[in-house]
Structure 1
Amino acid sequence: MQLNERAVLYIPDGEKESAALERVTHLAVAAHQDDIEFMAYAPIADCFGRTDLWFGGVVVSDGAGSPRKGLYADYTDEDMKKIRVTEQKKAAFVGEYGAQFMLGYPSSQVKDPDDTKIAEELTRIFRAANPRFVYTHNIADKHDTHLGTAMKVIAALRELEKDEMPERVFGCEVWRDLDWLCDEDKIYLDTSAHPNIARALSAVFDSQILGGKRYDIAAEGRRCANATYSESHACDTHEGLNYAMDLTPLILDKKLKVSDFISAHIKKFERTVREKAAYYAKED
């Protein structure tokens, strides 16, 4: 398929491109190398070791601007781009992904609301893979590149015909978790399976960990915290959980404003908190 000149498509098991893409059932689209493994481990685990379910990944940005120290302190941006591609390939191999795209766009382009090239490329990928489920960043994420990626994904999916659309689209946790979502609006992504694989996937991103960001510990800690604090009056039923918000309405209704969609969730949360506070404070 046609990709931009910087893009890399890695197929860990060496399957032919068309067959590799057609088998993908769960596709995650993330801003940076390692975002997929932190926010979408649940579908990775669901597909691991299966032949009827396959996970695929798309990393949109080139990862050039990440912090660095130690071994990587003197690495240039070009050096970091190369090492982060290598790390993402390692993750795809360990996780037995069906396919892994690395599109290599600069973060500035990902964040540009006027850019259409990224969404156009994503639309081609969605058509080639035709996944049942799509995972991307949630639209309350506080990282601008993550938000830019989510908006490109929404724009790309809105270009699909009805019979090309995925069954569901999930907005996942990285920079800002989703514990604040009202429980009935949370999607619970079980990350309990294969904890050794989860840790291995996080550990391959050495440039980030040694660079001073213990994302591996933070990601596992969030999953454990979500599992424990998800229910106050019952024993834990999961060893790990990620939360997601359902972005499918934004794909089905192309006229629905993204800002209105997320505002409705925020207002619902505010209303719930205010009502409980007023009740227990005995305020009118």
Structure 2
Amino acid sequence: MSTAFLLVCALCLDAALGEPDWLWSRVKHPAVMIGNVIGALDKRLNHGAQRRLKGVGVVVLLVVGALGIGWGLSLLGSVVQIIACAILLAQKSLVAHVRAVADGLRVSLPEGRAQVAMIVSRDTRDMTQAQVARSAIESAAENLSDGVIAPAFWFLIGGLPGLLVYKAVNTADSMIGYRTDKYRDFGWAAARLDDLLNLIPARLTCMMIVALSGQWARWSEMVADAHRHISPNAGWPEAAMARALNVALAGPRSYDGQLRDLAWVNGDAPRDIGASEVFRACDMLWRVWGLALGLVSVWVGFSFIL
């Protein structure tokens, strides 16, 4: 079977089942196992001299290990590859987490804050309704790229080994890829490689949202917003999602009690938003998933013809 056909099956399996609690309450999710390895290496190596070199070594170890495990699993056949790929996609779980924020906001502001705290790292205790909604939509846009389009892209490019390399590096970036005194050197390699691996998927996600929302005339504005973003990649899907929903995203927010005056994305659009805009973002997540499934299915069709 072609890799594209396996991806179609995996996309559908993830959309149907997501991450069932009955399974992951009994066994560790692969992302958790990767995180445990990274955490152990962080504790053992992130001190003393030559932290950047040690961090490079960690990334090399993760990449080599992911390639080996991915190659080994690939030898077990198509069914194993489909299941493994579906496990490492996050479409249904992403929509569920974002929708929970909208549902929470409809109950009360504190419930909305509690739900959004599960998917963002910024301070949530004193968030307004609009800040909760913006945080959820930003997380939806960024994780659509990181958790769905990028894994699918790297599975298409490199099969299960390529997908596992991406997930290992992306997990490492989320754990040690920070510009803090503790991780500036040790997490440098993880952050830079993650930026590289997300370079194409982030822009591809942006273009898919633009294609579905018909916002091509505002492409230059999105490029400008993306270049002002603190992340070289996250700004692309955020800029597209902001215009698809006609909302302002990003802007000032607090981390660990420190207010950061970050640039607005689509700053002239309405900023006073709430649950309804978050629900619309969830709809866009499914529309992009549908477009991705359709594109890969066309690829499968052409491969049969040719």
TM superposition score normalised by structure 2? 0.27
Query: Which structure shows the higher helix fraction?
Result: 2
TM superposition score normalised by structure 1? 0.28
Query: Which structure shows the higher strand fraction?
Result: 1
